[in-house]
Amino acid sequence: MRLATLLQAAGMAPVGDGAVTGFAIDHRKVSAGSVFGAFVGNSANGEEFVPAAVAAGAVAVVARPHVKVDGAVHIAALHPRRAFARLAAGFFTPVPATIVAVTGTNGKTSTVELTRQIWRMCGFSAASIGTLGVTAFDESTATGLTTPDVVTFLSNLAGLSREGVTHVAYEASSHGLSQHRNEGPTVSAGAFTSFSRDHLDYHATMEDYFEAKMRLVDEVVDQNGAVVVWMDDPYSPEVARRARGRGLRLFAVGENGDAERGIRLLSHAASALGQDITVAHAGQEIAVRLPLIGRYQAANALCAAGLVLATAGPDGPSAAQVFDAMARLQPVRGRLERAVISRTGAPVYVDYAHTPEALIAVMTTLRSHVEGRLIVIFGAGGDRDEGKRRAMGEAVAQIADIAIVTDDNPRGEDPAAIRAAVLEGFHDTDNAGGKVDEISDRRAAIAAAISMAAAGDIVLIAGKGHEQGQIVGRGDAARVHPFDDVAVARECAA
């Protein structure tokens, strides 16, 4: 493909030409004919690698105007990440016709995966991209990040299209949004699931974190697109205001949702299989037997239904098809996944809760199913938001009957210091004394919980969900020790 053609397609100045063979944001991945994106990052400055990228054969470099580029076309841009994405989107084509994006502190993975399932049950060839990797045709391939880097993301979209996928739901993390990792393709609808504390190691304040997420509504969703908002979150009115402000179609979901142009949740009651809910949509009242437990899983499933309905074309799917599919949803990996039942009959759940709000949500859900004690094993990740650790401890201190604080990806930090910060959350709780234990080794912690669980108790192993390893060390010293909460729980219960 010619550079001049790509520049023209992106509406950019015709600063040069040449044959383009690919795109790279890491100079080590540049080969003859690559367009290199030189970005200022958190730990490195890509601008320093421009000479190396040119030496490796870069045909052009997207970089800030003052950066010196000798021997290749300099595509000067004040926002190089944005310009690079726009240019690359012209290269990685065609992409699936219907693309939707989900943001929120918790619920992104669940919502994109449930959206994919509903589409598939309605007869579309669909995929999801997010923390679980790229999932299509019921198989997942890991990418390592929730929102992959822009080159991986765009080439995945083009690859999926080649395989016949027409519908994609992807997770837009705040990191991904602020780094323009998924700019370029037309996004027909966005969804907002929830907002609470996380990632304050990366974003300076909660306001900054919220603004990063809001780029989805303010800029990324197509001008003719829709925004699905879970209306029962304190931040939802502001999200809805921004969507309306841009003239986007608002699809409001939840108890405060719109019974005509969105989905209003009228009632929900726990059932043997999950929960029975009634909703109103387009003036109709519909009963759905949702096979997932927990109010927040109903929220995610309704946001998924909202995305499918908000992007439905003249050929459907119809509301009846969508609500019918909701009754056949399968659980999302590592999200309230029942790993095993202990020898004494206690169910052992694995869940990805790794924020204070997520812990509250999952424990509150399990609380209503437990007759005996709720035993919770959890920890906090290293090289991540330090401030959430104590709040995670407080949440568990208040809701669990017995807690075991253990390690969860200590990365480059001292695991004992992370556990100490989590344990601080137990200090101020009156009833916390005696109910918390500290066992650094995660396998030993799981074994201890399962061996103490009696009939009527429930064990919750929180924080790692689908993860397949324990990350220890930082940078080049980082090592991933194989670890799977579900597999370990089964071994311990055997």
Ligand X SMILES: CC(=O)N[C@H]1[C@@H](OP(=O)(O)OP(=O)(O)OC[C@H]2O[C@@H](n3ccc(=O)[nH]c3=O)[C@H](O)[C@@H]2O)O[C@H](CO)[C@@H](O)[C@@H]1O[C@H](C)C(=O)N[C@@H](C)C(=O)N[C@H](CCC(=O)O)C(=O)O
Ligand Y SMILES: N[C@H](CCC[C@H](N)C(=O)O)C(=O)O
Residues of each annotated binding site: 104-110, 146-147, 173, 179, 181, 384, 408-411, 463, 467
Three-state DSSP state, 2? strand
Q: Which stretch binds ligand X (CB under 6 A): 142-150, 240-248, 419-427, 472-480?
A: 142-150
Instruction: Specify whether the CB–CB gap between 224 and 411 falls below 8 A.
Output: no
| CA 97 – CA 154 distance, rounded (Å) | 14
Sequential DSSP letters for 260-271: TTSEEEEEEEE-
Exposure string for 38-77, b = 16+ CB within 10 A, e = fewer: bbeeeeeebbebbbebbebebbbbbbeeebebeebbbbbb
Q: How buried is 316 (Cβ within 10 angstroms: 0-12 exposed, 13-18 middle, 19+ buried)?
A: middle
| CA 375 – CA 456 distance, rounded (Å) | 11
First to last CA, the chain: 58
Q: Which stretch binds ligand Y (CB under 6 A): 52-60, 207-215, 234-242, 462-470?
A: 462-470
Give the residue among 391, 426, 386, 427 at the shortest CA–CA distance from 410.
386
Question: Under the criterion CB under 6 A, does residue 381 sit at the interface with ligand Y?
Answer: yes
Chosen residue from 111, 131, 182, 275 binding ligand X by CB under 6 A: 131
Q: Which amino acid is at 8?
A: Q
Question: Under the criterion CB under 6 A, does residue 196 sit at the interface with ligand X?
Answer: no
The residue count for binding ligand X (CB under 6 A) is 21
String of contacts with ligand ATP for each residue 422-451, x by CB under 6 A: ------------------------------
Q: Which stretch binds ligand X (CB under 6 A): 139-147, 229-237, 309-317, 417-425?
A: 139-147
Sign of CA dihedral 155, 157, 160, 162: negative
Which C-beta is closer to ligand X: that of 171 or that of 258? 171
Give the residue among 198, 29, 172 at the shortest CA–CA distance from 112.
172
Question: Under the criterion CB under 6 A, does residue 407 sit at the interface with ligand Y?
Answer: no
Q: How far is the CB of 203 from ligand ATP (least distance, A)?
A: 13
Question: Under the criterion CB under 6 A, does residue 463 sit at the interface with ligand Y?
Answer: yes
Give the residue among 31, 27, 20 at the shortest CA–CA distance from 89.
20
Question: Under the criterion CB under 6 A, does residue 145 sit at the interface with ligand X?
Answer: yes
Instruction: Specify whether the CB–CB gap between 359 and 396 falls below 8 A.
Output: yes
Q: Which stretch binds ligand Y (CB under 6 A): 14-22, 102-110, 313-321, 460-468?
A: 460-468
Could you tell which of Mg ion, ligand X, ligand ATP, none binds residue 107, using a CB distance below 5 to 8 A set by kind?
A: ligand ATP
Chosen residue from 409, 425, 453, 470 binding ligand Y by CB under 6 A: 409
Chosen residue from 23, 153, 352, 378 binding ligand ATP by CB under 6 A: 352
Q: Which amino acid is at 405?
A: V
Exposure string for 320-345, b = 16+ CB within 10 A, e = fewer: ebbbbbbeebebbbbbbbebbebeee
Which C-beta is closer to ligand Y: that of 59 or that of 376? 376
Q: How far is the CB of 133 from ligand Y (least distance, A)?
A: 13
Could you tell which of ligand ATP, Mg ion, ligand X, none binds residue 110, using a CB distance below 5 to 8 A set by kind?
A: ligand ATP
Which C-beta is closer to ligand X: that of 42 or that of 205? 42
Contacts to ligand Y by CB under 6 A: 146, 354, 381, 384, 408-409, 463-464, 467
Residues of this chain that bind ligand ATP (CB under 6 A): 104, 106-110, 131, 146, 171, 193-194, 296, 299-300, 335, 351-353, 357-358, 361-362, 465
